[in-house]
Structure 1
Amino acid sequence: MTDRDAPLPTPDTLSLLLASQGITAPEAQAAVHAGLQVLQDFLRTFNARDAHAWAQVMNYPHVRFAGEQVTVWDNALDYAASNDLAPLSATGWAYSRWDFIRPVQADATKVHFALQFTRYDTHHRAQQSYQALYVVTLHNGHWGVQSRSSYAGILAPGAAF
């Protein structure tokens, strides 16, 4: 784990979170574990500025609600092609980190996560923090982020950041 990775909830903390949300079925709990791994992969590939690897963490169609826009990508190639992170880097952004990740609903094939992330500069100073809702699904045997809604806004038309 690097200093840019947020630690996942501990087993005890996760058990309490799941119980408090009524996520008690074993298959729903397994889905939460799979979803947490997807979110770690999401942030790892995003911070690596690897648009193609980042696109593989999604399920398609992928939907992002941000600002007053709804953006839909039908496949990984379109997603990767529209995600040059230069505009975000131009703001001074160096990396992002999860502040918290909370599963709020789950079944065997879908998990809703309430979360918050912070963007940092090269001096590890926080730039902005945003709350969001991510939906992670199991689609054709692949766990991926299917949709996201955040208050981060839009830096470039059609971009996913």
Structure 2
Amino acid sequence: MVDANALFIPQQDSIDETAMTLAALACIDGFTACFNARDLDGMDAHLHFPHVILSGEQLVIWERPGQLPASFFDDLTRDTGWHHTAYQEKHAVLVSPRKVHLRVVYSRNRADGSVITLHRNVWIVTWQDGRWGIKQRSY
């Protein structure tokens, strides 16, 4: 059982907000590079598990890697014409010890660069087990 009071007491680590933000941004850039390379294992390597996705009001929790089907990218390309994903904006909105909340705006694009969809999300990147990883994504 988690001490409920401890959940709401901020940790008192001294933090270097700039360094933490740069590390979190490098993590999501690595994730997106793997996404664009159609590398499911590489994507999972940039996540922390359990991994939380809040899509609209639907909460999804991935307990372990390997949750996307092997056909994910083939299906995405066939169904939407997706070729690559590109960021329009990414910046930290909250930095706290071992955690950075990022507002990200990115597009899913066709090969000619035209935009299929535009996404505005909040992603939470955490320092856990000696590395930065994406812990939660809200769509």
The structure-2 alpha-carbon separation of the partners of 1:83 and 1:132, relative to structure 1 and needing over 3 Å to count, comes to farther
Instruction: Name the counterpart of 1:141.
Output: 130
Relative to 1, partners in 2 of residues 1:67 and 1:110: Cα closer, same or farther, differing over 3 Å?
Answer: same
Judged with a 3 Å threshold, the aligned counterparts in structure 2 of structure 1 residues 83 and 135 are, in CA distance, closer, same or farther, namely: farther
Which structure has greater strand proportion? 2
Q: Give the structure 2 partner of residue 97 of structure 1.
A: 86
> SS at 1:36's partner residue?
helix
Distance 1:120 1:80 in 2: 20
Equivalent in the alignment of 2:5: none
User: What's the TM-score, normalizing by structure 2?
Assistant: 0.82
**Structure 1 length normalisation: TM-score?**
0.72
Superposed displacement of residue 82, structure 1: 6.7
Count of residues paired in the alignment: 125
Quote how far apart the aligned CAs of 1:81 are: 4.8
Over alpha carbons, which structure has the higher Rg?
2
Structure 1, unmatched stretches of 5+, are 1-24, 151-161
Deviations 1:9-32 (A, max 9, x none): xxxxxxxxxxxxxxxx65232211
Do the aligned residues in 2 keep the contact of 1:59 with 1:142 (CA within 8 Å)? Answer: no
**What displacement does 1:84 show?**
2.2
Whole-angstrom CA distance in 1 between matches of 2:83 and 2:34 = 13
Q: Structure 2: which amino acid aligns with 1:51? A: L
Q: Is the 8 Å Cα contact of residues 115 and 131 (structure 1) preserved in structure 2?
A: yes
1:87 paired residue among 69, 72, 75: 75
Q: Matched residues, percent identical?
A: 26
C-alpha separation in 2, matches of 1:109 and 1:81: 31
Asked if 2 retains the 8 angstrom alpha-carbon contact of 1:52 and 1:80, the reply is no
- Whole-Å Cα distance in 2 between the matches of residues 129 and 80 of structure 1? 21
Computed over aligned residues only, the root mean square deviation of the Cα atoms, in angstroms, reads 1.7
Matches within 5 A, 1:2-151: 26-76=15-65, 78-79=66-67, 81=69, 84-90=72-78, 91-150=80-139
CA distance in 2, matches of 1:147, 1:82: 22
Unaligned runs of 5+ in 2: 1-13
